[in-house]
Amino acid sequence: MISSRASDWSWELMDEFWERNLILRVRSGSHAYGLARPGSDQDTRGVCIPPKEYLLGLKTFEQQEDETHNHTVFALAKFARLALQGNPNIIETLYVDSRHILFINHHGERLIAARHIFLSRRMGERFSRYAIDQLRRIEGHHRWLVNPPDHQPTPEEFGASAFEGRYRFPHTDAERAYRAALAHWNDYQTWRRHRNPERAELEARYGYDTKHGMHLFRLLRMGEEILREGVVRVLRPDAEWLLGVRDGSLAYEEVVRMASEHEANLPRLVEQSSLPSEPDSTAAEALLIDLQETFLFGRS
């Protein structure tokens, strides 16, 4: 029996199969975390079971995004593969607060009921690694803010000489250093061209993108909770503190120190976790097969 759990949801079901065969749709992003503010995007994530020609025939389907990139529907198989990898965005779909479930039917309920099979130390570590990637991005942008490169490096600066239209470097290390400097320059230019004006203002004011900082600590804390308690808290009980980070409550140096301490502690958290080292891929595959067979052939 098809049901909806959000009377204020205004998504209009369309004729495409990823809408007709939808089994689950949830709010995602800042609204799901409890971190939304006026003007925040309305993001959703969904799961569908493609028709039999996509499962048994030659056609393929993995996911569909709308033109705003705010609404995505995944094929169940793609969704399960990403969940087994511990992808945070995917795992969150299974653990949103019930008020953020916008559409669910019996197949979606079975998927959520089995969400524990995806829990593992790998998942907790993956959340933390995503956060550490955010930290590296924050550190890199901070270096550009306080010490931007002032010119494009040339081979001659690294001891190279021109010969028959090419450059010869005195040794391999010099060539590597030049290529690294050139990549750094190109990355800097790309960052400058594509900076979001709102994020640029935050970086100018606080020395780092505080919105990135907020999500850095959200991911760190979620990773810790998964490893220590075996729970995935999407709707954040620490939303007020996280929004404070978004508003610049932490200096750049504090952000780096706190996140670096977690990074150093991560191996111990992983080792001490009571979760299995890997998700239950056998159970996940059995669930996937059963859900798709039931959906396609009406087995009970």
Tokens (6 digits) for 253: 């140096």
The Cα–Cα gap between 110 and 116 comes to: 12
Quickly tell me which residue has 């800097």 as its tokens.
Answer: 188
The Cα–Cα gap between 48 and 79 comes to: 9
C-alpha 271: how far from its chain's center? 24
One digit per residue, the tens of pLDDT, for the chain of length 300 reads 334 444 344 444 457 888 888 999 999 999 999 999 888 888 999 999 999 888 888 888 888 887 777 889 999 999 999 999 999 999 999 999 999 999 999 999 999 999 999 999 999 999 988 999 989 989 988 998 889 999 999 999 999 999 888 999 999 999 999 999 999 999 999 988 888 888 888 888 999 999 999 999 999 999 999 999 999 999 999 999 999 999 999 999 999 999 999 989 999 999 999 999 999 999 999 999 999 999 888 754
Q: What is the CA radius of gyration of the chain?
A: 23
The Cα–Cα gap between 26 and 130 comes to: 22
Tell me the CATH architecture of domain 17-119+279-297.
2-Layer Sandwich (3.30)
| Cβ–Cβ < 8 Å for 124, 223 | yes
Burial 195-210 (b: 16+ CB within 10 A, else e): eeeeeeebbeebbbbb
Residues 192, 194, 200: CA angle, nearest 5 degrees:
65
Fill in the amino acid letter for 252: Y
The Cα–Cα gap between 92 and 235 comes to: 10
The Cα–Cα gap between 92 and 76 comes to: 15
Q: 124, 122, 180, 108: which is closest to 149 by C-alpha?
A: 180
For the chain, which residues make up each domain, given as ranges?
17-119+279-297, 121-272
Burial 62-87 (b: 16+ CB within 10 A, else e): ebbeeeeeebbbbbbbbbbbbbbebb
What is the chain's mean pLDDT, rounded? 90
Fill in the amino acid letter for 146: V
Query: What's the pLDDT tens digit per position in 58-76?
Result: 888 888 887 777 889 999 9
